[in-house]
Amino acid sequence: MGNHYHLIVDLNTGNDRPAVRIRAMRLQQHGELPQFASTVYVHWSPDECVALVKPEKS
Amino acid sequence: MVQPLALPHPTAIGGTVPPDHDIELRKIFKMFGGQAAVRDVDFQVHKGELFSILGPSGCGKTTLLRMIAGFEEPSAGEILIGGYPMVGVPAHRRPVNTVFQSYALFGHMNVRDNVAFGLKVRHVPKAEVQERVKNALKLVRLEKLGDRFPKQLSGGQQQRVALARALVNRPRVVLLDEPLGALDLKLRKQMQVELSNLQHDLGITFVMVTHDQEEALSISDRVAVMNQGHIEQIGPPSEIYNHPHTPFVADFVGDTNLFECQILDQDGAYLELKSLTGLAIVAIKPDTWQKDTAAIVSVRPEKFTFLRSHRPTLQHLPGNGQQHFVYGQPLPFDC
């Protein structure tokens, strides 16, 4: 069991807009320090995205 | 002579089925100077449940607890305990006991006398007081510290005395107002486990107020998330975390990424969206969706996966790593 570590990644949307910054988290396996290249490919499943409708103010 | 309210069994007075919940709140409102501190709160707390009311400071959660305890009366609505209305029933006649964040122990009394206080006030026979105090101290593992005074105890031990003082009265429900809030992090974690074990062993209903989302999620059977006087969602911890109903719940409980989006289309159980920052997103359609045109999408940090190469699939984008944090220490990429 490892520790969790956090990553700050700027996503390139490819349409001349500013990058979109996300905060991600991963599990550090076997006590190893994570190795990263500065360019990573980020994937997220639609089933992990929860759409929320703003409640109306009462 | 002060006696707590002895509730008759409901079948004894009407032949009705006893309720499967200990507490029921119906349309509760509380106004302070024209401002609603609590508004339109409805929920039930099941028998033997550890139920947490979670929210930021000033959201009305302590006011709600104080109304259940009888220290405040609702401006509107009904509170029932064991199926019986509590309107007009004073705090000392309700079958509940409260544990406060400050413990509220009597400094001039030793541990044993602190725990015995409520029983003595009610003129419980001396032999019974001794037996019940002994059992209550055993429950919280303080049986050897009965002669000590509060100032001779650690914060965790004082908290356990406060708990014993509540349990010795054999209440139907124990109310806990930020019970671990005064403890340091390590002790708080330890006491969370002790509190949870004690509650499950005794089977008494606990209602706990906390602003600590990790505490609420780790030991509660169900959690009510409160915001600006209103309950935004009630459910088991996993449901609150994985299926938040509102942007507030998603943001307050745990860490998340929130994207403000326009809804472009719908397809079965999914919505197709575009974030204001330009991300194309497909997300699960919320139960509450009624052809709304805007939504906020929540993606938990641990839901992102990282690949070495590009794949032409939905929601797969190149990114530039900025920083990563191990043990709270920021490290550069390419380390």
Contact criterion met (CB < 8 Å) for A26 and B308: no
User: Across residues B7-32, what is the average pLDDT?
Assistant: 73
pLDDT at B2: 43
Query: How distant is the Cα of B229 from the closest Cα of chain A, in angstroms?
Result: 11
- The pair of structure tokens assigned to B216 is 């609420």
Evaluate if residue B320 carries a pLDDT over 90.
Answer: no
Q: Least CB-CB distance to A5: which of B288, B319, B325? A: B325
Task: Out of A17, A38, A47, name the one closest to residue B321 (CB).
Answer: A38
| Contacts of residue B257, Cβ cutoff 8 Å, sequence gap at least 6 | A22, A23, B298, B299, B300, B301
Q: Do B318 and A7 touch (CB under 8 A)?
A: no
Residue among B211, B334, B204, B335 at smallest CA distance from B221: B204
Three-state secondary structure string covering B53-69: EECCCCCCHHHHHHHHH
**What is the C-alpha end-to-end distance of chain A, expressed in Å?**
46
pLDDT tens-place string over residues B182-235: 788 888 888 899 889 989 988 999 999 999 999 999 999 999 999 999 999 999
Q: Say what the pLDDT of residue B16 is.
A: 55
Task: Convert the pLDDT of each residue in A24-58 to its tens digit.
Answer: 887 766 655 566 667 888 889 999 899 998 765 54
B128 three-state secondary structure: helix
Q: What is the pLDDT confidence band of residue B13, given thresholds at 50, 70 and 90?
A: very low
**B267 close to A (CB below 8 A):** no
Contact B326 A3 (CB under 8 A): yes
Q: What's the whole-number mean pLDDT along residues B19-23?
A: 89
Strands ordered across the beta sheet of B21-32: B35-46, B21-32, B76-81, B84-85
Q: Do A25 and B255 touch (CB under 8 A)?
A: yes
B220: amino acid identity, one letter: S
B193 burial (CB, 10 Å; 0-12 / 13-18 / 19+) is exposed
Q: Which among B283, B305, B325 has CB closest to A6? A: B325
Identity of the residue in B315, B317, B323 whose CB atom sits nearest the CB atom of A8:
B323
Which one, of B304, B298, B303, B285, lies nearest residue B251 by Cα?
B298
**A32 CA to chain B: closest CA distance, Å?**
11
ipTM reported for the complex, 2 dp: 0.86
Average pLDDT over chain B, rounded to whole?
89
Distance CA A54, CA B297 (A): 11
Decide if pLDDT at B72 tops 90.
Answer: yes
Is the CB of A51 less than 8 angstroms away from the CB of B261? yes
> Which residues of chain B lie closer than 8 angstroms to A25, CB-CB?
255, 300-302, 304
Four-residue CA torsion sign, B206, B207, B209, B214: positive
Q: Poorest-confidence range of A14-28, B170-184, B185-199, B272-286? A: A14-28
pLDDT at B106 (0 to 100): 94
Kindly report, residue by residue over B108-139, the tens digit of the pLDDT.
Answer: 999 999 999 999 988 999 999 999 999 999 98
- More confident site: B332 or B186: B186
Angle at B262 between CA B258 and CA B263, to 5 degrees: 110
Q: Which two tokens stand for residue A51?
A: 């759409």
